[in-house]
Structure 1
Amino acid sequence: MTTIHKQVNDACLPAREDVEFFDKNGYWVSPVIFSEEELAAIKDHQDRIYRGEFETGRAPVCNWLEGVDNPRALRKTDNSHWSDSVLRGVATDPTIGAIAGMLMHADTIRLWHDQLLYKPGRGPGRETANVGWHQDFSYWQCAKEPTLVTAWVAFTDVDLSNGCMQMVPRSHQWGLLKMSDFFEQNMEKQQADMDIPENEQFTTKPIIMKAGQVSFHHALTIHGSGANTTEEARRSMAVHLMTGETRYKQGTRGDGHFNAGFMKGRDGELFDGPEFPVLYGASANK
């Protein structure tokens, strides 16, 4: 059985100029972190989740199931790390945690939750699917401040042909906009209706990556992705992370998020405990 990393790979950590790039633009792409052997095991365990084979006996949230759900649909499974040790190894990877800590200037990084993602290829009987423009924080307003970052792990090579992510540079500096819709297919209309700040421009940067690389983006960075026009599925995991200073804010639209339920009404308190394992910091891997 393949074991995902237990120690930080220093060769993958960002340099000072990389951190400055993230500060300015709201995203950064790492070197390759996961090997071909590891990725093969990860994809095998991803398929087990879709077959309803949960190693731990605990089901994830909102899982797509083979033989039940639409095979043409974009698959989004929350908290696959509850169900499978290999996928948990991805979601709690110490190198990802260390990078997030450096980019966010944080002493501690905890897991917010993971999303296992599968964008079907264009094969017979399959639709192509966009991911609409959105800011992750629009769905996470049970957090008091946008002290969160996403690490998007590519399980396959990604470019424009199979729907790579596209970032809007500097958009993390625009505040929270009223424009987010993960499932919106008309991205041109979204852009046209977007109320961006004066003296700013909506420009996009395609994030072309090799399998095993990880892109990082701030919770306020606008991003989305186009259709997968290839024959093969685009596979990935979005590892959503938060700094150790992230606090619960009760009474927002974010109270419907399952993470809010773990706080049991503890308004203003830090998100902590076993539901939010530490990837980076003094208590990591304990």
Structure 2
Amino acid sequence: MQTLTPRLTEAQLALLPTEEDIAFYEEHGWYISQKVIPDEVIDAAIQGSEKYYRGDRDYRLAVESGFSDWKPEDGDNIVRNNEFVSLQNQQLRLLALQPIIGAIAARLARTTQIRLLDDQLVYKPPSKKRQSAVGWHADGAYWATCSSPNLLTAWIPFHDCDETRGPLVVIDGSHKWSGLQDIRYFNQQNLTETEQKFYAPGRKITKVPMTLQKGQVSFHHRWTIHGSYSNYSTSPRLALAVHLQDAANHYRPFRNHQGKEIHIFDEVLCRKLANGDPDFSDPKVFPVLWTEASS
């Protein structure tokens, strides 16, 4: 399986977040990059997504069920959600592992290394009537066995994305709120109804759409509440969410409020440590995008 050499050019180094940008991210829980992904990489990823949707795979997972993975028989009039695509398709892998994505994430998380955690390819069909929203959620609520508080997600639209095309939307500063461990409403499309759960004294709900041009990437903290609007344009909306882990992240056992042991699918794919714990640094499943020595 081909991987990238995590090196940045001088031009790319100039695109990294400044200290002021990092402070903004730490305060607000999100950040929008300059144009950092070349058009040809995204165009190749579009071709890769079409290949993936046809059922063609460049690589096979050790376990091929138990995660979200839209197939043609599921129908065309729904939101398609396919996980772990960069472990199965070369063009999508090339996009997900861009070193510039890792370098930006490392700056924002103040870490010396960024590894892949997993990813999601999300397609929204165009419609002026059909709901294609993604419900409010915090990524961290799905990562209970990840130890680090600094995990983050890069969101990469494959085209210009304005508010009509169903962009990602974050709730500004929500990563600082408490009690987010159960914010898992990904499939609840009524954003207004779910939003009522967030009102509390001292909280201000400010929604910020990630309206990006092709080649820009948005980043959000693992506890930043986010969702996405329906696609009311005349064109499909296609994007890749790349979930990222910092150097300090490792597996930790976790039990929910009822005492039930919780696991995430990533644990099934990776090798085990000597003590039997999943190894969240397994390079076959969690390849490195960037390390401090790479700059």
| TM, length-normalised to structure 2 | 0.86
User: Is residue 113 from structure 1 mapped to residue 79 from structure 2 by the alignment?
Assistant: no
The structural deviation recorded for 1:120 is 1.1
Deviates more, 1:149-158 or 1:28-37: 28-37
Separation (CA, whole Å) in 2 of partners of 1:172 and 1:267: 32
Separation (CA, whole Å) in 2 of partners of 1:264 and 1:7: 29
Q: Residue 218 of structure 2 aligns to a residue in which SS?
A: strand
The structural deviation recorded for 1:257 is 1.5
Structure-1 residue corresponding to 2:79:
74
Deviates more, 1:153-162 or 1:186-195: 186-195
Aligned length: 278
1:34 counterpart letter in structure 2 = I
User: Is residue 258 from structure 1 mapped to residue 265 from structure 2 by the alignment?
Assistant: yes
Given that 2:148 and 2:250 are in contact with CA atoms closer than 8 Å, whether structure 1 keeps it comes out as yes
Given that 1:4 and 1:86 are in contact with CA atoms closer than 8 Å, whether structure 2 keeps it comes out as no
Per-residue CA deviations over 1:179-225 (Å, capped at 9, x if unaligned) read 331111111111112254x3221111111100111000000001111
1:273 to 261, 269, 282: 282
Per-residue CA deviations over 1:117-160 (Å, capped at 9, x if unaligned) read 1111118xx83311111110001111123221000011111111
Q: Residue 153 of structure 1 aligns to a residue in which SS?
A: strand
Deviates more, 1:138-147 or 1:15-24: 138-147
Separation (CA, whole Å) in 2 of partners of 1:250 and 1:19: 31
Aligned pairs (5 A) from 1:162-181: 162-177=165-180, 178-181=182-185
Given that 2:6 and 2:291 are in contact with CA atoms closer than 8 Å, whether structure 1 keeps it comes out as no
The structural deviation recorded for 1:62 is 3.0
Given that 1:175 and 1:220 are in contact with CA atoms closer than 8 Å, whether structure 2 keeps it comes out as no
1:183 to 164, 184, 187: 187
Separation (CA, whole Å) in 2 of partners of 1:282 and 1:21: 22
1:272 counterpart letter in structure 2 = S
Q: Residue 12 of structure 1 aligns to a residue in which SS?
A: coil
User: Is residue 97 from structure 1 mapped to residue 106 from structure 2 by the alignment?
Assistant: no
1:70 counterpart letter in structure 2 = G
Separation (CA, whole Å) in 2 of partners of 1:209 and 1:99: 16
Report % sequence identity: 32
Given that 2:41 and 2:95 are in contact with CA atoms closer than 8 Å, whether structure 1 keeps it comes out as no
The structural deviation recorded for 1:114 is 1.1
The structural deviation recorded for 1:5 is 8.6
Structure-1 residue corresponding to 2:28:
25
User: Is residue 199 from structure 1 mapped to residue 206 from structure 2 by the alignment?
Assistant: no
The structural deviation recorded for 1:53 is 0.9
Separation (CA, whole Å) in 1 of partners of 2:254 and 2:156: 32
Structure-1 residue corresponding to 2:69:
63
Structure-2 residue corresponding to 1:235:
238
| TM, length-normalised to structure 1 | 0.89
Q: Residue 111 of structure 1 aligns to a residue in which SS?
A: strand
1:165 counterpart letter in structure 2 = L
1:143 counterpart letter in structure 2 = C
Given that 1:167 and 1:204 are in contact with CA atoms closer than 8 Å, whether structure 2 keeps it comes out as yes
Given that 1:137 and 1:176 are in contact with CA atoms closer than 8 Å, whether structure 2 keeps it comes out as no
User: Is residue 54 from structure 1 mapped to residue 57 from structure 2 by the alignment?
Assistant: yes
Do the aligned partners of residues 35 and 52 (structure 1) sit closer, same or farther apart at CA in structure 2, a change above 3 Å counting? same
Given that 1:179 and 1:194 are in contact with CA atoms closer than 8 Å, whether structure 2 keeps it comes out as no
Given that 2:144 and 2:254 are in contact with CA atoms closer than 8 Å, whether structure 1 keeps it comes out as no
2:110 counterpart letter in structure 1 = H
The structural deviation recorded for 1:260 is 2.6
User: Is residue 88 from structure 1 mapped to residue 93 from structure 2 by the alignment?
Assistant: yes
Separation (CA, whole Å) in 2 of partners of 1:44 and 1:184: 30
Per-residue CA deviations over 1:207-254 (Å, capped at 9, x if unaligned) read 110011100000000111111001111111000001110121224358
1:279 counterpart letter in structure 2 = L
Q: Which runs of 5+ in 1 are unaligned?
A: none
Given that 1:152 and 1:236 are in contact with CA atoms closer than 8 Å, whether structure 2 keeps it comes out as yes
Deviates more, 1:173-182 or 1:3-12: 3-12
Q: What RMSD, in angstroms, separates the aligned Cα atoms of the two structures? A: 2.5
2:75 counterpart letter in structure 1 = N
Q: Which runs of 5+ in 2 are unaligned?
A: none
Separation (CA, whole Å) in 2 of partners of 1:50 and 1:31: 29
Q: Residue 162 of structure 1 aligns to a residue in which SS?
A: coil
